[in-house]
Structure 1
């Protein structure tokens, strides 16, 4: 991965600070959006404000403001489009089932009002594509219908920036996780980049560019938008968090920590618990990459005390993932095996804990206990398959492959274990992480490298660890595995390189991990 020089990054930050976004008409700074409608002036003003919220995924606020626009002008049909849009929540995941009839009802009301312009009618028809036959047609198919409808609007109204913006983000939503050419993402970004130059204070453009570039091969391209978004929409919790998607991809852990601390603070104050939990999971991940385990533990403890008022997937996922990350990143396999399962209605969130337990038990020498948890993973995978959730069923399948490989290893079937782990790593390389998570508990290829090293295959392990860093730069656990491999292989240059990188990452670490303490003692480095 090509890295931006430090001077370039500093320049981006300086430019962000020196060019603040224009404030909207209230005290809150959310950016600047104008979505032309045929509604009355007072409704138009409220509609624009609703779009500020919507573009930063602040759904409760956007829906409330769209409803206020309707109160100001009951004939403002396009406001029903906004209400239907708000019911999708983050479009990168299926909306809550209870939202589907509500979204369809809003779209139908908008259609019945016969909006004042053909453009507005096409917008309403497009959002309806996401809801029509929701009880008969699966989510993925409806997303593809929605994409086709958004493309039609964007084509018919080529001078309408909002149409291009809506089409661009839908290209990302509809992209196949297995497409490593990133055709949809690059097409969407190509639409947004010139608009961003014309509208540098538009929150949605910066936000969606981050989503479109939120892939290892593209992440560097997202740094300018990441540096801008939090300043454009200073008071939106998601705007504070979203830059950390890019920071995570490029291994900028301190920037990720700052981003998510602020996001969690704003979300906490506004009662947006799902946003708060999501930011806290990313925060835990970043702290662990710097060896700041006490700070990570404090966030996990706070997260565990949250009583979610709304049952959404981000909160339960963050709680399960942060608990499991802590033991995984620290190599605490007995701790992983002892994790408690707190069942939710989200199979992929529950799978995280079973996965951690299975790997933890196998690596602690208890394959029988691990097999019981692997069986739960198979059950959850099949449940997701039956629900036609192709993405998450694939992710859980990869988890059970990894856990099963460690069971084989614990049983002394080393060749079979290595083959199975390599297959799991290759399967993981063919997919992408979901935006809900900063990454897996540990990359499959990193776990494969650990297995190779344990079998005395130091040079092969070293190559596997280096492959991880190309996709997941600045991972502390990867560097720790690399230095062990380099020592076993007698690669002095690589030992020095890894020691320097570890020292850099752990400059402010609390040194509670035995391997960091041992490394300081054996290398004499100030970690």
Structure 2
């Protein structure tokens, strides 16, 4: 989990802050650190768990919002935590601990050592304001501010070690401070003291059995290391904080390590739905919340392991179809599109859909290094699988070239790509009949993969590659009749991918070939337990059935599992992102006549919230849009430009009156608030560009201190919007 690349999270604060003031329209008066992120007031959130962190404040209501923000920090919901802390400052502008909360949301467990990224820089500005006010709080609170100051303004790049040391001082000075113990546990993870951290977590839970942070940190503490020690917290964390996507995600993360695939699916399915429900309620899009794509990719991987190929592919394609943003979701980052490609390729390889891999258009490859390598790997396997060994050899050469090129450009390149190349060549050598070289290459790849896993450098969150190499080594050995050796390879595969159904099927077949029917039946039973809800017609199911072992499903897991039923999860929210219904829209045209979105049903609408004609950048955006009028009309699209300017002034506008678009009035900002184009913390309008389809559903938006002016990107998204609607219409006929 700690290698996640978080998107920029930002909420501005009030009054004097440590950044330069910005008097440009639409920008925070307190500096660029406060210009992005969630800028609408918080609400009292249900289903997030409860914690209490006493703070000094002149306004009693602040304590409630601080507790909410602190509770959200414990579940790594940093952007929503910031929203609550910012409201604390709306109520009490000099609340030092609210600034500390904002700093802690940006300077956290994920923070890099260099602190030169935008999120960390924001956090340092917030921290300055907390330090500036530290003499106004209690001695206990001051210790928290000083701990973060020493960790993030000190010379040591090991922030977690410094924080653990400093928070330990708080624990010693205030032994009844549950929050200090919880944070001490968090920052002690990965410090080689797993059991000691567990003992601290137990102290927290003894006093507060439902503390969300304690259960969360226990799961991380044992993740990949005696994972079963966190089973109790895996069971409890989600129910304690059911409205938090990450509280459902992390148990699923650990269940996969234990081979409890049904429980993993229940948790990750819930995480995905809860996240999407929140997004739809709060008008958030996939590129605005890092957890969504991560959850959906992980769920697709779990579906693969359960034999639910169709569900896995559907999830991958939904990620690819999700809206994109040129700043927050670049093609070479871990956004929805990137993770969708990863999930699609992984699933097609795992289920040996060689024709689909080779068919043009099935995988929307991009012209970037990661996709060039991924395509060479996938197509080398596909050509090998279809017997076209000449083409397989050519693709393998491309893959080897990519390995060399990427390793030269990036000395710290993850060696997974080199392992993939060895595995692909091993399978090709086996197909060519060179069994000794095939075995050598696959053993070499499997050993390297094992070293990666042992060192913690193997990407397994979820894995981008389709199988443990030991599993395909087992397949190669079994195919040439080396069943005893195949049993050893499959057994090793199960040690790294617990209850992997593909390895279980191989073990059933190899033990049966060796005349070991009892052991074969045991593995066939385990296979059937994992694939109880698998898609019909899969070859692995057929091969196990052909053994005629009459094996009853036997689950071998550290604890009992519930059955995973997709339909029973639907009450939690949708599983895949779809455009959400636009909020109510009722403005006035220059003649004072009401205008609603319903008036444009059957047409796409680009809604632009701008400030006024005195805003130079606003005028530039609207003029740029107007210059592309033929592009919009060609895509069945109209533009509605909305500001707080009264109708009569819009009618008389000299700067904008000549534009072909409709100027609309939202004098009391009601529509701007509905579309989250209003800053509740500083009481000002924001710039927004919103794409709404012919059915009145939001497909894409951008809100912030600057207007969005990338017209080519908007046109591209409008075309994607039309294409998706066309596909949806075809599906209903």
Partners of 2:168 and 2:184 within 8 A in 1: yes
Q: Which residue of 2 aligns with 1:197?
A: 206
Q: Partner of 1:253 in structure 2? A: 261
Is 1:114 matched up with 2:128?
no
Encode CA deviations 1:355-407: one digit per residue, 9 max, x unaligned: 4445445555312212212332443445443xx5xxx6244444344345445
Whole-Å separation in 2 of the counterparts to 1:362 and 1:130: 53
**Residue 169 (str. 1) matches residue 195 (str. 2):** no
Distance 1:44 1:226 in 2: 29
The answer to whether residue 116 in structure 2 is matched with residue 99 in structure 1 is no
In structure 1, the residue matched to 2:396 is: 370
Shift of 1:306: 1.3
Aligned twin of 1:451? 476
Q: Specify the SS of the correspondent of 2:455.
A: coil
Report how far residue 62 of structure 1 moved. 0.7
Could you say what secondary structure the match of 1:242 adopts?
A: helix
Which residue of structure 1 lines up, in the alignment, with residue 441 of structure 2? 420
Shift of 1:226: 0.5
SS in 2 for 1:157: helix
Structure 2 equivalent of residue 277 of structure 1? 293
- 2:201 and 2:218 in contact (8 A); partners too: yes
State how far apart, in whole Å, the 2-side matches of 1:26 and 1:456 are. 64
- Residue 80 of structure 1 corresponds to which residue in structure 2? 99
Contact kept? 2:322, 2:337, Cα under 8 Å: no
1:56-455, aligned counterparts within 5 Å? 56-88=75-107, 91=110, 97-115=117-135, 116-128=137-149, 132=153, 142=157, 144-158=158-172, 159=175, 160-172=177-189, 174=190, 183-215=192-224, 217-271=225-279, 273=286, 274-309=290-325, 310-311=328-329, 313=334, 315-316=336-337, 318-336=339-357, 340=363, 342-343=365-366, 355-364=377-386, 365=389, 366-385=392-411, 393-406=414-427, 409=430, 413-429=434-450, 430-432=454-456, 433-434=458-459, 436-437=461-462, 440-455=465-480
**How much has 1:61 moved relative to structure 2?**
0.6
> Secondary structure of the equivalent of 2:63?
helix
The residue number in structure 2 matching 1:503 is 528
For residues 171 and 383 of structure 1, the distance between their equivalents in structure 2, rounded to whole angstroms, comes to: 34
Gaps of 5+ in 2: 1-42, 554-733
Q: Normalization by structure 1: what TM-score?
A: 0.81
Secondary structure class of the residue paired with 2:205? helix
464 and 64 in structure 1: CA distance in 2 versus 1, 3 angstrom threshold: same
SS of residue matched to 1:468:
helix
d(CA) in 1 for partners of 2:229 and 2:270?
Answer: 24
**Deviations 1:261-319 (CA, angstroms, capped at 9, x unpaired):** 22111211222633222222222222222222222222222222212453362635531
Q: TM-score, normalised by structure 2?
A: 0.59
State the alpha-carbon separation in 1 of the partners of residues 307 and 253 from structure 2: 20
Q: Whose Rg is larger?
A: 2
Supply the distance in 1 between the matched residues of 2:138 and 2:94 (Cα, whole angstroms). 12
Distance in 2 separating the partners of 1:86 and 1:323: 33
Q: Please tell me whether residue 37 in structure 1 is matched to residue 55 in structure 2.
A: yes
- C-alpha change, 1:406 and 1:185, in structure 2 (3 Å) is farther
Q: Which residue of 1 aligns with 2:11?
A: none
How far does the alpha carbon of each residue in 1:439-474 deviate from its partner, in whole angstroms, 9 at most, with x for none?
A: 742112223323333444221121121122233221
Q: Judge conservation of contact 2:164–2:188 (CA < 8 Å) in 1.
A: no
Measured at CA, do residues 73 and 198 of structure 1 come closer, stay the same or move farther in structure 2, by a change above 3 Å?
A: same
Distance (Å, rounded) in 2 between the aligned partners of 1:96 and 1:330: 42
1:471-510 aligned at under 5 Å gives the runs 471-510=496-535
Report the alpha carbon displacement of residue 213 of structure 1 after superposing the two structures with TM: 1.5
Of the structure 1 ranges 185-194 and 459-468, higher mean CA displacement relative to structure 2 is found in 185-194
- Tell me how large the CA RMSD over aligned residues is: 3.3
Correspondence for 1:462 among 467, 487, 495: 487
Shift of the 223–369 alpha-carbon distance from structure 1 to 2, 3 Å rule, reads: same
Report the Cα distance in structure 1 between the residues aligned to 2:345 and 2:278, rounded to whole angstroms. Answer: 28
How many angstroms does 1:233 deviate by? 0.5
8 Å CA contact retained: 2:372, 2:402? no
Tell me by how many angstroms 1:512 deviates.
2.9
Q: Deviations over 1:317-336 (max 9, x none)?
A: 53133112212321334545
Against the structure 1 CA distance between its residues 97 and 367, is the aligned structure 2 distance closer, same or farther, given a 3 Å change threshold?
A: farther
> Relative to structure 2, which stretch is displaced further, 397-406 or 74-83?
397-406
Cα 1:92/1:248, change in 2 over 3 Å: farther
Contact 1:341 1:354 in 2 (8 A): no
Partners of 2:99 and 2:69 lie apart in 1 by 12
What CA distance in whole angstroms lies between the structure 1 residues aligned with 2:441 and 2:44?
57
Identify, as 1 or 2, the structure richer in helix: 1
Cα deviation code 1:400-459 (max 9, x no counterpart): 443454455556554344233323322322233556326742112223323333444221
Deviation at 1:103, TM superposition (A): 2.1
Q: Counterparts of 1:496 and 1:96 in 2: how far apart (Å)?
A: 57
Aligned to 1:29, the other structure's residue is in SS state: coil
Alignment check: 8 A CA contact 1:384 1:393 kept:
no
**3-state SS in 2 of match to 1:81:** helix
Contact 1:32 1:203 in 2 (8 A): yes
Distance 1:205 1:353, change over 3 A: farther
